[in-house]
Structure 1
Amino acid sequence: MSGSIKKLIFGSQQSFFVLAVFLLTLISLSLILSRNFAWAQPQAQINVFKTSGLAPLTVLFNAKNSSGNIVRYEWNFSDQNSQYPLTDEGRLVGHRFDNPGTYNVQLTVYEENGSSAQTQITISALAQPAGAKTFYLASNGDDNNDGLSESMSWQTIAKITSEAGNIPAGSQILFKRGDTFDVGGQWDVKSLMRSHPNYITLGAYGSGSKPTINTPHLTTNDATENNGLIITDLNITGSVWIRPKYYSSSNPVGFRIPGLQVILRNIDLKEFSVWKSTGVSLENVYLDNNINGVGLGSDAQEVGGMAYFYLNNVEVLEAKSHCVYLAGGGDNILIENSKFHHCGIYESLGGDLRDGITVHGTADNLIIRNNEIYNNGYAFGLDSAYNTAPAEYIRNVMVENNKIYNQRNYVSQLRSLQNAIFRNNLIYNNPSTIFGLYGPKVDSGPIDESTNNVEIYHNTISGNTNSTIFSIGSNTAPNYNDRISNIFIKNNIISNNTGSILNDRRTSSNDLYVSNNIYYGTLAGNQFVLGSSLFTVDQWLVSGKDLNSKKADPHLVSPASYDFSLQNSSPAINTGVGVGVAYDFISAFRDNSPDIGAYENLSVPPPPADTTAPTTTANPGAGSYTASQSVALSANEAATIYYCLGSSCQPTTVYSLPITISTTQLLRYYAVDVASNSETVKEVNYVITPLCVENWSCAAWSSCTNSQQARTCTDNNNCGTTVNKPIISQGCTALCSPNWSCANWSSCSNSLQTRTCTDLNGCGITSGKPGESQSCTVSSGTTGGGAGDGSGVPTSTNTNTNTNINISTSTANTTNTITSGESATGSLIKVAASPQIYLLSSNQKRFIPSENIFLANGYSWNQITTVNESELSRYAIGPDLSYPENTLLKISDSSAVYRYSQSKRQVFFNAKYFLANNYSWDRIFTVKNTEIASYPLSANVTYPDGTLIKGGGPMVYLIESGKRRAIATESVFSGLNLAWHNIIAVSDFELTFYAEGTSIVNLDDVSPDLINSLDQDHDTLYNYLEKIYGSDINNSDTDGDGYPD
């Protein structure tokens, strides 16, 4: 993000907002007011396409995904060579590692306020792999040779083609310098493509001029995607075409990302074309198109089609059309240190006026810097209009430190440009429009995206004729002028041009920001036009629409000889406004009072040397704490902070994020500012005494005596407190269950038969006693008889027998016995000969594996019915019964408590999470280590919806639907009637438990029902804290246990 658009966590561009934060701990509620007026810490991030490859290895480093108000990107490559220095600066940078080895590349990002952050990435430049070979070709060679030495070289490219399948990956094919090799037509190198990282290299050996490959086209010809080739040190008389395989019938149709990875290095050729590929680079390439067509072109065909495309020290000239034409766009494209000239100016030969550089389609992160663009039809066109759908844009563009001169027509046409910066450019001797900013185009599809956030800073624009320097919008309908917004024009020198300075054709110019420019030269007539309003320069400077600009001679050293640096007398010196441009045209550092134009004046005496060391502060400071602390280090000026943990350590780690201190530690730190002033090492001691969390285990209940039973409970953590101690006595009912045994029925006499039944358990109660008499009839034809001959048998039999059962370690209990019939769904059944118990469910029997699962599902032993084997066998076997959702589990040798959910276990990070979710310590089941290990760990248990949390930074979050939603401003926090003392302080690690939800910017961004439910008893202490503390925040602590009563 540019320096002109500053975003704070709380507040606006003009002021910092106040955030009040109250930190809570489990021991007590302490109200600590902290008001932070600060930017969010920047974050550094590096992305590359590949982290390894054969040396020499060229890598394009991308810092675009770094976050913060970043104005400076500084790189250290741990390596340098004649073309690539040890360090570099920029959002996209390239570097070549010539020698095999491992290199740690470091990125430091700086915000405008001096805050910084660092990160690094490891790059591996690889040696030629085992099994790879080197083959030699010379014009006097012989294809019957083995090609493995200069004296046994091959002769023809046809030999390479015939042997391609036998050439190992990572091999080199070297052509003798000074020799010419005739292909006799197109050279298809498809068979030489290999997978990453072991690409084949086509190169040169010996001394003299580059070997000449005489072919109209060197082409990959439909090679399968994700393969590569390295081409170095050759003179190719025709074109190089990098074309991956096109899928015309399979899904998806077209080229497939990442296409082909091809490196051209030290190459002369006529034309270069590439289709939809990632990781293509051109270094030290000379391309003389000889008025043939497009010089260097790509066809991306869709969003992201060309990515990590790098041009360095490339010269393209005499193209009949564009020098560079990137069709369809791409992502992460860097064009630097190159020349593009004499292209698109051959109308007499049937050509049209064309650009030095053209980008059409959709592009993101495009940087054009340190180039010369001259003698073309136009300088560059960044114009999205290409494909019909979807709507297109060119986003995150940087055009800097370029020389742009002597075009035939306009300098730039800019359309659907977003977040673009044009800075430190020298633009001179061009006719027509310099900056043409237009609304989106419509092809046959939707309207392309808007043009917005275009920043034009620190350019020197001189000697251009018949031009409009800044042209905004169009008079030709449809123009979509209303879709052009936020244009910033600051710190520019506009000198000795003819024509007008600014013409804004929109109906409103309220989002045009102009200031701190210098206007000089023939400035007759109306130089500024806003819609229908006309202004001379003098009228413009007093209109209030252009702050701190002036009409004055900028005292350039020698514009006639194109030296646009500043004389010591220049009014541009120290009169610019800070816009986050850290360096000038020659990479000189800009201070807080920058000079206007592309150059800083370096001969004016610098301000007094800074000899004062920075001062670093740790927040929170030294002290005793009951929980982990997230310690933020900040310096009073731009500085790099180093730190370490330990009494004898040396602070060498660069500070970038708050430091989490979870045990007693000594923090040592110091800072070094940009003037190399070093602070004396400071020491801060943090004493962390973790809160003791009670961990109670209880013995079994005693027998029920006089309607009471008791047990003993022990705190395994010996906290010395009894806040969560389980009950140790309770009322009870005698649990003696009769076990009735009955004798056989007597003979039927007088229509009655009897028996005796005895309670084998001697409970002394008759509840449930089987009947001891029943009516009967004597079978016909029977005149008597005794019990042994079958006479007097009753018409029906109802036998109930109680059987003792057990499951795992359970004690004996009473069951019912059924010998016939069918049990209902939901019944608990077993057979007498086995302790296994089953739950009947949907005509299936589900085995209950353990006593804990039995009890966790709410069953009791007297619900079990004993059935016979035939009854049990009629049910199909179903899945074993498991714990119900949210069952609490632990093992005996650990204090960790888990929540069972979907066959996995979720851990409680600390006791606050347990209590805030309204769980009870006496509902925890202790299981074996093997059982707990059978449930994979999943996400941590989180705080319930409605909880307010805060990490080490100033941001406060509201938990909703399991996500943390940032509360954007203090006014929103207050407007929701939230209370600061209900915020729970968490570590930055705990913040990772929650996915990041949308920010709460307005009062209606959060459900009123959620806010209204937070404090059900209206005592200002939210429900989740009452579950933790079990008390009112306003009560006193009369027993001195650290908790309100």
Structure 2
Amino acid sequence: MKIFVFGNIKIKLSCSRIMKKNTFVFKISLLLLCLFSNPSWAQNFYVCNNGADSNRGLSPYEPWATFDFAMSRFSTLNAGDSILFCRGGTFTSSFPRLFNQHCASDAPCTIADYIPPDVTPINAKLPVIINGNANGVFNFQDGGDADHDEGYVVRNLSLKGTGTGNGIFLFNDVDYVTIEGVTIDGFDIGIYSASANPPNPGANKVNDNIVLRNSTIINNKNQGWLGGCNDCVIDNNKFTNNGFGQKIFNHNIYISGANNSGITISNNILNKSAFVAGKCAGVSLVVHGVVQDLTIKDNTVFEDIGAAEQACWGISVDPGYATEESFSNVIITGNKVTNVGNVGIGCASCTDLQILNNIITHSQDFSFTGIKVPVRAEDTVKSDRILITGNYIELQDPNQRGKQGIVVTSTGDVNVGANDIILK
């Protein structure tokens, strides 16, 4: 599939199909078009501190100089184009918003890094982009009512906040976004996947196919990740010391939204959630709202001995709003939860729930329940069709603080068996 852009018109053509046309001239013309539109011809634009915004930016030897000038050109990129910041460089951001309908899921526009000619690769530190904007560094949205846009990659950058704004903000139906190899440090919210204004034709008000992987989300005052999405993945990231601005209501990962589906949270490391006065005081990974097809697997959630309050739960999927909430087809499996607060893994208003093969250990000097369903008051949907098996729960309780392995009070279809619970 090839993508051709003419002004504001984007045409997708399959070269294998168009070559079946009958005329010789038509075949030759389209053959040349397909050859010269190969993705390898996509344009890179370079940005470095030793450049000048008056340069063309077309090579590492004549880069642009500033973040804001480079981002002012973002709306003019064609599908597959990239804006690349030099490793070792430092930039300040104040550009208001990014929106481009030329970019595509199969030919995304990329914002990433490059190694300049005068830098040794071993010394090539990630480009640093310092937030100078109330909205944050990368603010992907169009103004007004929501128009669908898609196909963005943010890769190998270090985003530095000053306690305000968002490292990356997705709003007004932004789809097919990949964030990888990025450090997001010191914002109000690290990544915020928000909803949308009323939709124009072609928009559905949801951010679809969002991927966050191989990244570090640290020291963000309010939340590490906030918001919902459809068919999205949060994989192999480190979340540390997010939510320190407030106890209980702040988190490392906070999934929220009215109609989300197909969310996978896997292989992440989480600790120091809502870390206030030297102790974790908020759930590290929490899910509220309405979610179908939720998988939480192979994550590590931990706190140090003496560094957790009882509000510092590990993983919980449960209602938290005044509106009706529910969670269907939920799988929580293969996670390791160590020395968190009052609950290791919890669920409420969860149907078709499987809690499988998790390792939960606890040695803090307060009461604790390894797995609890329901973990709090439920909405109209009651937890049902529950399978809890293959879990290992080890509880150190020398002072008889009242620790329990598995507590299920649901009256629905419940199957609990083949779990190892050790009380020491």
TM-score by length of 1: 0.30
1:281 paired to 2:178: yes
Question: Which residue number in structure 2 is paired with residue 332 of structure 1?
Answer: 231
1:380 paired to 2:285: yes
1:262 maps to a residue whose letter is Y
Q: Using the alignment, how far apart are the partners of 2:335 and 2:417 within structure 1?
A: 18
The runs of 5 or more residues in structure 1 that have no matched partner are 1-50, 54-101, 103-124, 220-237, 248-254, 385-392, 440-450, 523-1045
1:520/1:239 Cα in 2 relative to 1: closer, same or farther (>3 Å)? same
1:194/1:519 Cα in 2 relative to 1: closer, same or farther (>3 Å)? same
Match of 2:103 among 187, 195, 209: 195
1:57-136 map, 5 Å = 127-129=39-41, 133-136=43-46
1:395 paired to 2:395: no
1:438 paired to 2:344: no
Deviations 1:223-252 (A, max 9, x none): xxxxxxxxxxxxxxx5221113432xxxxx
| 2:391–2:419 CA contact under 8 A, matched in 1 | yes
Question: Which residue number in structure 2 is paired with residue 323 of structure 1?
Answer: 224
Question: Which residue number in structure 2 is paired with residue 266 of structure 1?
Answer: 156
1:490 paired to 2:389: yes
1:413 maps to a residue whose letter is S
Deviations 1:462-506 (A, max 9, x none): 125421223223786xx4477221111111111125412233344
1:179/1:288 Cα in 2 relative to 1: closer, same or farther (>3 Å)? closer
Q: CA deviation at 1:426?
A: 1.3
Aligned length: 343
1:128 alignment partner, SS class: helix
Q: CA deviation at 1:150?
A: 4.5
Q: CA deviation at 1:200?
A: 6.2
1:503/1:166 Cα in 2 relative to 1: closer, same or farther (>3 Å)? closer
2:95 maps to a residue whose letter is W
| 2:284–2:315 CA contact under 8 A, matched in 1 | yes
Q: CA deviation at 1:169?
A: 6.0
1:242 paired to 2:140: yes
Q: Using the alignment, how far apart are the partners of 2:75 and 2:251 within structure 1?
A: 42
| 2:52–2:65 CA contact under 8 A, matched in 1 | yes
Question: Which residue number in structure 2 is paired with residue 178 of structure 1?
Answer: 88
Q: Using the alignment, how far apart are the partners of 2:418 and 2:357 within structure 1?
A: 10
Q: Using the alignment, how far apart are the partners of 2:168 and 2:142 within structure 1?
A: 14
| 2:359–2:391 CA contact under 8 A, matched in 1 | yes
Q: CA deviation at 1:334?
A: 1.0
| 2:96–2:139 CA contact under 8 A, matched in 1 | no
Q: Using the alignment, how far apart are the partners of 1:165 and 1:359 within structure 2?
A: 30
Match of 2:419 among 502, 517, 522: 517
| 1:135–1:173 CA contact under 8 A, matched in 2 | yes
Q: CA deviation at 1:138?
A: 4.2
Question: Which residue number in structure 2 is paired with residue 457 of structure 1?
Answer: 356
Question: Which residue number in structure 1 is paired with residue 330 of structure 2?
Answer: 420
1:422-821 map, 5 Å = 422-439=332-349, 451-463=350-362, 465=364, 466-473=367-374, 479-480=378-379, 483-498=382-397, 499-506=403-410, 508=411, 511-522=413-424
1:454/1:52 Cα in 2 relative to 1: closer, same or farther (>3 Å)? farther
Q: CA deviation at 1:345?
A: 3.4
2:406 maps to a residue whose letter is L
Match of 2:132 among 209, 212, 216: 216
1:342 paired to 2:241: yes
| 1:261–1:280 CA contact under 8 A, matched in 2 | yes
Deviations 1:778-799 (A, max 9, x none): xxxxxxxxxxxxxxxxxxxxxx
| 1:174–1:205 CA contact under 8 A, matched in 2 | no
Q: CA deviation at 1:330?
A: 2.3
Instruction: Name the one with the larger strand percent.
Output: 2
Q: Using the alignment, how far apart are the partners of 2:224 and 2:68 within structure 1?
A: 33
Larger radius of gyration: 1
Q: Using the alignment, how far apart are the partners of 1:163 and 1:427 within structure 2?
A: 45
Deviations 1:255-305 (A, max 9, x none): 23x43432111111142211131101111111112xx42221111349770
Q: Using the alignment, how far apart are the partners of 2:231 and 2:73 within structure 1?
A: 37
1:135/1:359 Cα in 2 relative to 1: closer, same or farther (>3 Å)? closer
- Residue identity over aligned pairs, in percent, reads 20
Deviations 1:733-774 (A, max 9, x none): xxxxxxxxxxxxxxxxxxxxxxxxxxxxxxxxxxxxxxxxxx
1:414 maps to a residue whose letter is V
Question: Which residue number in structure 2 is paired with residue 309 of structure 1?
Answer: 210
Match of 2:251 among 333, 352, 355: 355
Q: Using the alignment, how far apart are the partners of 1:202 and 1:418 within structure 2?
A: 37
1:310 alignment partner, SS class: strand
CA RMSD of aligned residues (A): 3.5
1:378/1:144 Cα in 2 relative to 1: closer, same or farther (>3 Å)? closer
1:287 alignment partner, SS class: strand
| 2:129–2:158 CA contact under 8 A, matched in 1 | no
1:394 alignment partner, SS class: strand
Deviations 1:532-563 (A, max 9, x none): xxxxxxxxxxxxxxxxxxxxxxxxxxxxxxxx
1:360/1:205 Cα in 2 relative to 1: closer, same or farther (>3 Å)? same
Q: Using the alignment, how far apart are the partners of 1:277 and 1:167 within structure 2?
A: 17
Q: Using the alignment, how far apart are the partners of 1:517 and 1:268 within structure 2?
A: 43
1:157/1:331 Cα in 2 relative to 1: closer, same or farther (>3 Å)? closer
Q: Using the alignment, how far apart are the partners of 1:365 and 1:314 within structure 2?
A: 21
Q: Using the alignment, how far apart are the partners of 1:164 and 1:126 within structure 2?
A: 21
Deviations 1:828-857 (A, max 9, x none): xxxxxxxxxxxxxxxxxxxxxxxxxxxxxx
1:985-996 map, 5 Å = none
1:187 alignment partner, SS class: coil
Q: Using the alignment, how far apart are the partners of 2:63 and 2:356 within structure 1?
A: 58
TM-score by length of 2: 0.70
Deviations 1:690-731 (A, max 9, x none): xxxxxxxxxxxxxxxxxxxxxxxxxxxxxxxxxxxxxxxxxx
| 1:321–1:354 CA contact under 8 A, matched in 2 | yes
1:424/1:170 Cα in 2 relative to 1: closer, same or farther (>3 Å)? closer
1:500 maps to a residue whose letter is Q
1:194 maps to a residue whose letter is H
The runs of 5 or more residues in structure 2 that have no matched partner are 4-15, 17-36, 162-166, 198-203, 274-281, 319-325, 398-402
1:160/1:191 Cα in 2 relative to 1: closer, same or farther (>3 Å)? farther
Q: CA deviation at 1:180?
A: 3.7
1:436 alignment partner, SS class: strand
| 2:77–2:109 CA contact under 8 A, matched in 1 | no
1:367 maps to a residue whose letter is T
Q: Using the alignment, how far apart are the partners of 1:200 and 1:308 within structure 2?
A: 16
